[in-house]
Structure 1
Amino acid sequence: MKLSPRERIIRVLKHQGNLDRIPWSLHFGASSAFTPGSYKKFSEYTKISDVNDYYQLEVRVAHSDEEEPHFHTSSSNLGLRMLSNGVKEDYFDPSLPQGTSLTPWGVGLIEWPDNPGSEQMVHPLANKNNLKSIEEYPIPGIDQNSFSIVQRRVQEIMSKGYISSAYCGSLYEWSHWLRGMETFMIDLMTRPDFAQTLLRKVAEFTDKFARAHAEAGVEILCFYDDYGMQSCLQINPSLWRKFIKPEWERIIRGLHSDYPDRYFFLHSCGNIEQIIPDLIQVGFDILHPIQPECQNSERIIRQYGDRISFWGTISVQNTLPFGTIDDVEKEVKSRMDLARLIPSLIVAPSNTLGQEIPVQNIIAYIKACQKYCHIKC
């Protein structure tokens, strides 16, 4: 039995088993795991520019950029294009440093020259101490001209037997990017009306953005919301359940009702084990990355793999940057063995591939995936 790439992924997402091979990836959701630095090293060393086609990766991004984004940046249009909310440099006090760019949400970005693709943020609502400023803050628009581009890409992806994904937004991340992490955390504790107002505003756009992608035909709707630190959640789980969870419930349940054949992906770094049952209850179908440094990946997949699928689990903090080629192969084999037993895993890096990762270890990861992905191994 030979499955199409799309059929293979759907079987994983529905926990159906009967796979012809275990899917693996160099991406997560709607984003390449490569950073500009790691992609440059990899493509120069291997002479491979398009890893999707070369390795026949199952999930393809329905992007609206002119060319396929080959690495992770904040400016790539990994789906529909967002339009500026109209906030300009003169909104900020103090003034923005020279060379600062603005996201469609009006968040300032200052590039780190020694680590392209990473930025320092300037938060437009950080110094706003009245509720009216939050209530009146504008949301981005959606570029309607990009709709036909994404729709056409979805059709092309499906015609070739692959499955489409796209970036559809955030709740917690966008909120603290706008307000600043420390200020937003204080809001949650002492100014709940500020936090609630901002979250509702962000949720309104995320819902609208995700619906536009679903309407364009995108099958895997990808959301990115980092809740974890190395050993625990960033946010008290009771606060997460009070403020964040209800917004996700409204968004995912509404989408699932109107688009029952769509799948919902969440990227959330760190140790988020305390809220995995909540994420299942909300209706997410795929969780990335289950970082092995932060929680026991195997135990979590065994415990929840009949209710939610997982994408990731390969260490980018230890094994890929500091391990030997044998270490990389051993880790990949252990994940593939687990995926044969519990067919709810897409093996992939647990985050972006930093430029400090030796290209030989990336190649070792790929070779091990190719070696051990077969069902009979």
Structure 2
Amino acid sequence: MTSRERVLAAINHKEPDRVAVDFSGHRSSGIMAIAYARLKKYLGITSGDIYVYDIPQQLAIVEPEVLDRFHIDVIELGRGFGLEKEYWKEWELPDGTPCKIPAYINLAKEADDWFVCSDDGTRIATQPKDSLYFDQIYFPLENANDLKSVDFDAAFEKSMWTKLSSPPAPLSYDPEGIRLLREGAKKLRESTDRAIVGLYGGNLHEIPQFLFRADNWFMMLASEPEKTHHFLDQLVEYHSKNLEKYLSAVGDYIDIIQFGDDLGMQTGPQMSKKMYDTFFKPRHGCLWKQAKKLADVKVMLHCCGGVYPLLPSLIEAGLDIINPVQTTCKDMEPERLKREFGQDMVFWGGGCNTRDVLGVGTPEQVAEDVRERVRILAPGGGFVFQQIHNIMANVPPENIEAMFNAIHSA
């Protein structure tokens, strides 16, 4: 099988010739740039710079040589964009490693702290000295009283996660932006036999947290249902219009479209099933069904945490794939998930315990963890391997190599 055929078989619940593998195919299956620099050195790769495409999480672009080395079957649509030198500028990682970051990001430094600024100079995110990440510090709708007609474009310019979205940002959905999206997606499709994931986002529960601040949004959900419904209706309309433009450009060239909404915690869902079904299920369903109508794609949801009680609702809403399958959370044991939902849901993740094993175990312990998880999740298809979320900065390169080497020896 080609890589694309392998992934398509897996996500159609057919067992491929070998386990399909993802590494950096989306923003929660990747690797922090500090760890990536060490991995390259460990593998003896001396060519190429370190490119940080996601500055909040400090994620590196994984180069073709590494993808080939570990037999990776997936690539993210963003790899078709920002290929020229002028799209990047010099920066330095917290450990002093030189790197390149997207040129459009407006950075400022005060003493030893870094700040991301919006176009008008508002500081929207900060990375204090010795921190490995940027944190959002400005919430554009925190003090908003009138939500009758929200200007999402303006608000997104001053919210870290929406302002600093992945390449092909900062392309717009105007005619020229659509043309560039289509051309980049077409070229990438023609250059690879890997399955392509298009990151759309379309977040419904997370974007209000980015705009209002998390505590304010949770209080609104619990105490102001009419206001919440009105806001979410506007957000769905905004996402729906852009989804149509996005898929008109890239729909012929991607295999999976990824939406995002973290709904879980270590101890279970962030909300009751009733609240999810009331506010989010019909709206998720609306967007996911629209995506499938506009293009021949499978719908993936990036959703961290323990969401076992919500899985039936997510399936009913039309979800095909969930990642990163955080099996270390309550009721998320891989055996339970595979037994109860393996016929209806693709588990894109859960392949290695990043919390308790990958960063602190021996290579042998990592390999054993991987083999056991693959043994449970792979039979019958419906599984694409990735570790549980991104590889953190402290993970030894020999453990990363052991993880990928163990996948096919389960």
Query: TM-score, normalised to structure 1's length?
Result: 0.82
How many Å apart are 1:100 and its aligned residue? Answer: 3.7
Q: How much is the aligned-residue C-alpha RMSD, in angstroms?
A: 3.0
User: Do residues 46 (structure 1) and 43 (structure 2) align?
Assistant: yes
Q: Aligned equivalents of 1:28 and 1:231: distance in 2?
A: 28
Residue 67 of structure 1 corresponds to 83
Q: In the alignment, which of 266, 274, 278 is matched to residue 238 of structure 1?
A: 274
How many Å apart are 1:76 and its aligned residue? Answer: 8.5
Q: Could you tell me the percent identity over the aligned residues?
A: 22
Residue 90 of structure 1 corresponds to none
Residue 261 of structure 2 corresponds to 225
Residue 169 of structure 2 corresponds to none
SS at match of 1:142: coil
The aligned runs of 1:207-356 (5 Å cut-off) are: 207-215=240-248, 216=250, 217=252, 218-259=254-295, 261-294=296-329, 295-313=332-350, 314-356=352-394
Residue 7 of structure 1 corresponds to 5
User: Do residues 137 (structure 1) and 151 (structure 2) align?
Assistant: yes
Q: Aligned equivalents of 2:241 and 2:101: distance in 1?
A: 19
User: Over residues 344-368 of structure 1, what are the superposed CA-to-partner deviations in whole Å (9 max), with x where a residue is unaligned?
Assistant: 1111111111112222211211221
| C-alpha spacing 1:345/1:101, structure 2 compared with 1 (3 Å) | same
Residue 238 of structure 2 corresponds to 205
Number of equivalent positions? 344
The aligned runs of 1:68-217 (5 Å cut-off) are: 99-102=115-118, 108-132=124-148, 135-139=149-153, 142=173, 144-159=175-190, 160-169=192-201, 170-215=203-248, 216=250, 217=252
Q: Aligned equivalents of 2:265 and 2:119: distance in 1?
A: 25
Q: Aligned equivalents of 1:147 and 1:328: distance in 2?
A: 43
Q: Read off the aligned partner of 1:244 and give its amino acid letter.
A: F
Q: Aligned equivalents of 1:107 and 1:310: distance in 2?
A: 38
Q: Aligned equivalents of 1:225 and 1:28: distance in 2?
A: 17
| C-alpha spacing 1:172/1:32, structure 2 compared with 1 (3 Å) | same
How many Å apart are 1:232 and its aligned residue? Answer: 0.9
CA contact 1:30–1:165 (8 Å) conserved in 2: no
Q: Aligned equivalents of 1:161 and 1:245: distance in 2?
A: 34
Query: TM-score, normalised to structure 2's length?
Result: 0.76
SS at match of 2:115: coil
CA contact 2:28–2:389 (8 Å) conserved in 1: no
Q: Read off the aligned partner of 1:136 and give its amino acid letter.
A: V
CA contact 1:123–1:177 (8 Å) conserved in 2: yes
How many Å apart are 1:149 and its aligned residue? Answer: 4.0
CA contact 1:58–1:163 (8 Å) conserved in 2: yes
- Where structure 2 has 5 or more consecutive residues not aligned to the other structure, the ranges are 46-61, 88-99, 106-112, 157-171
CA contact 1:213–1:221 (8 Å) conserved in 2: no
How many Å apart are 1:185 and its aligned residue? Answer: 0.7
How many Å apart are 1:237 and its aligned residue? Answer: 2.1
| C-alpha spacing 1:188/1:206, structure 2 compared with 1 (3 Å) | same
SS at match of 2:376: helix
Residue 88 of structure 1 corresponds to none
